[in-house]
Structures are given as structure tokens and as C-alpha cells.
Structure 1
Amino acid sequence: MRLTRTSRAAAALGALLLASACGSSDTAGSTPGGSDFTPPKLSAQKTLGKGEGQVNLIAWAGYAEDGSNDPKVDWVSGFEKQTGCQVNTKTAGTSDEMVSLMKTGQYDAVSASGDASLRLIASGDAAPVNTKLVPNYKDVFAGLKNQQWNSVKGVPYGIPHGRGANLLMYNTKKVSPAPDSWSAVFDQAAAHRGKVTAYDSPIYIADAALYLMKSKPSLGIKDPYALDQKQFDAAVALLKAQNKNVGEYWSDYLKEVSAFKSGDSVVGTSWQVILNTAQAEKVPVKAVLPKEGATGWSDTWMLAAKAKHPNCAYKWMDWIISPKVNAQVAEYFGEAPSNAKACDETADKNHCATYHAADEAYWKNVHFWTTPIAQCIDGRKDATCVPYAKWVQAWTEIKG
């Protein structure tokens, strides 16, 4: 299984948000939902009708397994048998691809990350959801409900699926002392020149901004996804300086495991599942949530505004966050489940502890991916922030 979340250059996809507005977005414990963002006027479905016989999904690899990749990994067949809704899944490798596919009108739902969700809401491609039609929603962790990447002014635009943090991983035999700061891949990266690794996506600019938020407070960064031109230029400059020390930018987690195993990488951004996989292969690595905090991702199942099979889509959203299924997905993909009751259903009884599923204090230090837009989502009214399209352009320059 190849899990990728990288975002290819697609400036046009970000352009629709140039004039969009969104409210306060301190994802580490802010007022939920955008306060100024006004999406197209759409209404949530009021009642659940009979299933239409099929549902067309856009999903990350590993989110809608039907046994074709591994006969032992199948939670789609049970859904089809119970509901009569045949599942047709298009696996997407990037958030930009998901946004593009949703615009075709051929799909009913998508497992969107925070760097895509606001775009889908702003363009009118995603509809509000009626959480009363999703019985298992009541058991979703409170920290995932009505957040600024999946709701607007308290109106939910999706059903939380799971979450994960971007960690700092290092080779314990090559990196000493043990790092506790992102300075290991920025200001001190030269100590491991050519063996630093970084996540391959424009959204990684937020990681540099997060580090600068703590290391250079004079820049006044309050939110790593809300950068005015001066702040943005500082983050880009930091990443260009880092570039000469980077041996590889990764998007495929198996490639990062291989790089740490071979010694080509010794320090860099990682996920908990990568750490687990590498340690299982006897690679001498550890990972830490640095003192500055971290960026992270929280995925949301969003309903297409023009869904042709909305009833089956609602049934799917309830199924995928049901305790047993949510536990299966979380373990297979390597993430914290969204349903609190899923923690009693995992095969590995330590899974939720390992992934900090119920540790809200842990998540307060994680700034979840959010689409950068021209309206400064940190609440500033006297500044214009750099929108996502410009992040995409800058990322190409950063990598050379």
C-alpha cells in the first residue's frame, strides 16, 4: 500500500480562494468554524431515504478497502451487504486531485484533508451535512467536531474520519543529542547535510512558519496557515536554505522507511505509522512532537453538493465511523480514529494510546492542515495573506 498526500502544482485549484474569507483559525484550540467565511448557500439533507444502489467515492489509499489489496482487509463488502449500496472507489494521491475530481460531478463523497476542505466548501462542491442522519457521529471525539477545516459558523460540512500529527523522526545512532525542536531540520540541518528529509507538498511551508512562529516571534506569526507577504517570504527563505541539506522530499511513506533503513535519511518529518513500520524493521529510530508543536492532518468525509447517490453516501459516512470499521481503518492506515468507541475495537489494544486518540492535550499542540486563503484566518483585518495558489508556486521554486 502506497500512502501519499502530496500536492502537485495546480495553481488554478487554489485561485478560487483568492477572495474567499475565513475567520479565526488557531487550530490548537480556537473558536470552531469560520466566523467571516460565507460559502455558497446550500442546505443539508433533512431526511434519509432509500439507498440508490451505489455510491461513488474519492478516497485516500487504505480508506475504502474491499479485499482486493489484501483478502484479510475488507470493510466495504460488509457495507454493501448491509445497505445494498455498491461502492465504487477512486483512489486519489493528492488533495489537489481530490478537488479536481469533485468538480466533475461524478462522485458522491470524498475523504478530504484540511488542505482541500475549505476549497470544496468555498466552490460550492461540498454540501453541509445533517449529522442527525449519521447516528455514530454522537461518539466522535469532541476535538474533531465543528472545527475550522470542517465547519463554517457552526454548520458542519463533513464527518470526521481520523487524525494524525507530523512528527520529527531521527536515527538514534546518527543524531545526538536527541532533538526536541524543529531546529534539527532547519537552523541545524547542516549537521546532517544530504540526509535531512522533508514532506513533499506546498503545505509543508506551514512547517517552516510554525518553527518561525516560535524561533522568530518578531515576525508576528500567529497561525502557520495565515501568512502575510513578509511572513511568507521568511518561511520560503528558510525552506530554500534547508533545501541544500535535504537528501529527499517524500510523499510515499514506504520510501521514507527505506531511506531511514538505508541511512540515506537520518532526520526529518514523519508520521506515527512510519515510525512504527521502521521500528518493526529494526531501524534505530525514534520520533517526537517537538516543543514548537507540529502541523498535522484531520480527514473529513464530505458530501458532494450534487451527489447522485446522497442516501448511500450518508450510509457510508455512518458506516466508516462505526466503532469496528473505524478501528479497522485506523489500524490499517496508521492514524487516530475519530470514534471514541473505536478504541475498544482495535486488535492492538495499545493503538489509541500510541496514536494519542483521546489525548486532547496532545492535539492542542497540533495545527491541522488548513487551506491558506487571502483573508488572514488568524483574525487580522488590516492585512492580506498569501493564498494557496502562491504556496504552490513557491514550492516549485523552493525545490529548484
Structure 2
Amino acid sequence: MRKKILAVSAITAAAAMALAGCSGTSDPAAEGGLAIEVPDVPMMEELGDTESEVNIVAWSGFVEPEWSDTFTEQTGCTVNRRIAGTSDEMVQLMRTGDYDLVSASGDASLRLIAGGDVQPLNLDLIPNFGDDIVEGMKGQIYDTINGQSYGIPIGRGANILQYNSEVVTDEPTSWDIAWEKDSPYAGKIIAYDAPIYIADAAVYLMAHEPDLGITNPYALDEEQLAAAIDLLKQQNEIVSEYWSDPAAQITSFAGGTTVAGTSWEVLRKLSEDEKFKSVLPEEGSTGWSDAWMLASESKNPNCAYAWMDYASSPEVNGAIAMNFGMAPANAAFCETGEEAAAHCDYYNATDEEYFKKVWFWTTPIEQCIDGRTDVTCTNFQQWTDAWMTVKG
């Protein structure tokens, strides 16, 4: 569902997913991720000799010759890269059995786990997954199931409110300027063009309509989903443009068509214009987190484990984060020099208070991941169908 072009990302529509299960806690992440029924796929107990290659499905900018060639020299594993444009494409490619690893986002992870397409990971075999990996990327519900980790963190980012400070002269503190029909910037608001954007509406409703009882923007029952869609239809009346192509988003701001709306830190940076500023509003936001995941039927698991360890080192993880434009998973990178420190500061890499306000993309499923067991939540197919009604 997320599209990444020249070191930027965007959501696109994806296929449906529905899972059943049970959860006995209102905070599944506090007990080691989500508790659901998934295929019993074995975990590697020990490493063997490396094979001759590793086949990776990755976002653009994640697997580059600058570091993959060094990996080949060190391990003898030739890196074969396949760039994917969307999470949906990644899922489809992983199900062909031709790939060992994928750099999956949270909106694809649950589908891969539930489908038996990826295997749980033995963290003892990945030494660089240690104390330096930021805590906020460990044990999350999008890649940790029944206490087992299925993903090795790569990086993360927030979906923030960007604005033209020459027009929006007072720094916004709320998303209200992008959602309310009486916004002074009506007609110049930009929004995502994707079903997962429903979660952004849910985040706003959590703060402004608490009686709806939303406690997780990816766990919406039918009534809550309907409320989110109503808000999105209201927003549609003040939206100048929907975007899925990062270049189009940058152009919209630069050309003056848009003066405020959803963005990523990297897009503001790429615009290279100081009048464009951004803020994480008081309601919080959605966001994304990527992780390496290993195919359940990997033909080259030893090379794959070697890659996950290599790519988790401060130097390589940092190179990926800088190349793409995101907060690295390995905090030790932030202490490797002035450039690294500046990058980490810009992307709030080690600021867990900042990321506590971010709801990372998680594919909606029928099990309510907020812990409710007395209702059935809506799944992504229902979100996709509902999204089709938003723009008319």
C-alpha cells in the first residue's frame, strides 16, 4: 500500500485482509505484540554455511550497491534486488517463493504473517539487534505476534502537518485547519489518496469526538468507520488535491495549489524552501515503520540472516536512513558524527516522546486490535470499499 519513489514513500490501495482471533488485553503491545492465530512456521535455531546469494524485495533506496557490494565481499552472498512500488506488490512477490527478504511496512506485515509467508526470527542470530535498536520499534503489533518477532526494524517516520508559513502565519497546533469545513485555508488543503488515510480521520476523531470510543485508529467497528468516512467526506469539500505521488505533493505546495496538509519530514526537506514548515499536531498522527522479514520458504536463509545483521549495524542502517529520509532504527548511528547527529535530530530518531504520539500503519483486521472482544472490527476490504465513497 505504500509507494516509495526516489527515497520517498506513498500509500496506494491494497487488497483485502481479514483475520480472526482473540486478545485478552487492551494494550496488546505491552504483552509482546498482537495475539492472533497464525500458521505454525518454524524458526531457525542455528545458522549454517552461507549460500551464494540473497534475493530481496525492497523499497527504492534501501538496498544500494554502496553497501550491498561490501556485504557480498564480506559474506560471499550476492545481493539480488527487486524494487517494489507498493506494499501490495511486495506481498504478491513474496508469495511467489522467489525472494528471501522483504523490507515490509506495517501495512503489509500482518498479511505476510497471517498468510504464512514469513517466519518468526531468532534474534539471537542477529547480534546487531541489540540495545541500540530504539525501544519504540521493538515488540510492535504490526510485526510481533504471540510474543514472536517477525521483523527487524529499519526505520520509521511520522505523517506530519506541512504548511506554507507565508500563508499560514501562525504555527498550527491542531489538525483542525486540514479537517474542519470552516478552515481559513479551505480549497487549499492536500490529503492522501488511499484507504489507509481513514486512520488519519480516526486519529482526529479520537481527540475531538471521544464519545465514539476510538482508542486505536486501525481498530474501527462499523459505527466508528462510518464516522471516519463522514469526516473524510467533510474534508473533501475543502481539499484542493489528493496525492499518492510524492513529486506531485511537492509540486502542489511549490505551485501554491496547496498551503497545508499531510506530508512527511523528507518531503518538506526535499522541497528546499524555508517557507514550508511542519509540525506534529497535538492530536498526534499516523506514521510508518519498516522491517526486514524473512520468507517462510527462503532458499537462502543463512545469507538472509547475514543481511539482516549487516543492515542493522549503525553504519549501514544509518546509510539506509539517510538515503531514504527517515529515522534510523539503530540509535548508535546518531553518535557517529555531526552529519549523523543532525540527521537524527531532524527526524526525531531517538525522541520516544515524539513517536508516542504516532500511530504506525497497521492493516485493519476483523479482530479488534484495541482489545475489544464484544464487537467485530472492520477489515481492509471494508476500508477500501468505504474509501471509494469519499471523493464521489
Following superposition, the deviation at residue 55 of structure 1 comes to: 0.9
- Residue 5 (str. 1) matches residue 3 (str. 2): no
Aligned to 2:73: 81
**Distance change in 2, residues 1:125/1:309 (3 Å):** same
**1:141 CA drift (Å):** 1.4
**Pairwise mapping of residues 152-191 of structure 1 onto structure 2 (< 5 A)?**
152-188=145-181, 190-191=183-184
Q: Which moved more, 1:294-303 or 1:246-255?
A: 246-255
Q: Shift of residue 161 of structure 1?
A: 0.7
Q: Distance in 1 between matches of 2:387 and 2:26?
A: 23
Alignment match of 1:275 (pick from 268, 272, 275): 268
**1:26 offset after TM fit, Å?**
5.3
Write the deviation string for residues 339-364 of structure 1: whole angstroms up to 9, x where unpaired: 12111236343111111111111111
Aligned match of 1:366: 358
Structure 1 residues 363 and 26, CA, compared in 2 at 3 Å: closer, same or farther? farther
- Residue 115 of structure 1 pairs with residue 115 of structure 2: no
Match of 2:256 in 1: 263
- Judged with a 3 Å threshold, the aligned counterparts in structure 2 of structure 1 residues 159 and 22 are, in CA distance, closer, same or farther, namely farther
Inter-partner Cα distance in structure 2 for 1:23 and 1:169: 38
Consecutive aligned runs of 4 or more in structure 1 exceeding 6 Å deviation: none
Of the candidates 383, 388, 391, which is equivalent to residue 383 of structure 2? 391
Contact kept? 1:23, 1:378, Cα under 8 Å: no
**Aligned match of 2:120 in 128, 131, 139?**
128
Is the CA contact 1:320–1:326 (under 8 Å) kept in the aligned structure 2?
yes
* 1:44-72 per-position Cα deviation (integer Å, ceiling 9, x unaligned): 11111122111111111111122xxxxxx
Say whether residues 1:284 and 2:283 are aligned partners.
no
TM-score by length of 2: 0.93
| Residues 353-397 of structure 1 deviation map (CA, whole Å, 9 limit, x = unaligned) | 111111111111111111110111111111110001111222222
TM-aligned CA distance change 1:390 to 1:190, over 3 Å: same
CA distance in 2: counterparts of 1:52 and 1:163, whole angstroms: 30
Which residue in the other structure is 2:61 paired with? 62
1:246 Cα shift? 1.8
Q: Return the alpha-carbon distance in structure 2 between the equivalents of residues 381 and 159 of structure 1.
A: 30
Q: Does 1:34 align with 2:34?
A: yes
Q: Is the 8 A contact 1:25 1:223 kept in 2?
A: no
| Residues 1:22 and 1:114: Cα distance change in structure 2 (over 3 Å) | farther
SS of residue matched to 1:48: coil
Pairing partner for 1:212 from 205, 209, 212: 205
Q: Residue 69 of structure 1 aligns with which residue?
A: none
Q: What letter is aligned with 2:9?
A: T
CA apart distance, 1:7: 2.5
Normalising by structure 1, we get a TM-score of 0.92
Choose the corresponding residue for 1:99, options 88, 91, 96.
91
SS, match of residue 51 in structure 1: coil
How far did residue 254 of structure 1 move?
2.6
- Measure how far apart 1:180 and its partner are: 1.1
The question of whether the paired residues in 2 share the 8 Å contact of 1:136 and 1:318 is answered with yes
- TM-fit CA distance, 1:25: 7.2
Deviation at 1:283, TM superposition (A): 4.7
Q: Which runs of 5+ in 2 are unaligned?
A: 1-5
- What are the ranges of 5 or more consecutive residues in structure 1 without an aligned counterpart? 67-73
Asked if the contact 2:19/2:114 (under 8 Å) is kept, the reply is: no
Alpha-carbon distance in structure 2 between the residues aligned to 1:9 and 1:116: 9
Conserved 8 A contact 1:80-1:86: yes
Cα deviation, residue 190, structure 1: 4.6
State the Cα deviation string for residues 134-177 of structure 1 (Å, max 9, x = none): 11001211221111111112211110111111100100111243
Residue 24 (structure 1) shift:
5.1
Q: Aligned pair in 2 of structure 1 residues 307, 348: CA closer, same or farther (>3 Å)?
A: same
Report deviation, 1:76. 1.3
* SS of match in other structure, 1:211: helix
In 2, are the aligned partners of 1:75 and 1:325 still within 8 Å (CA)?
Answer: yes
Tell me, in whole angstroms, the C-alpha distance in 2 between the residues paired with 1:217 and 1:81.
56
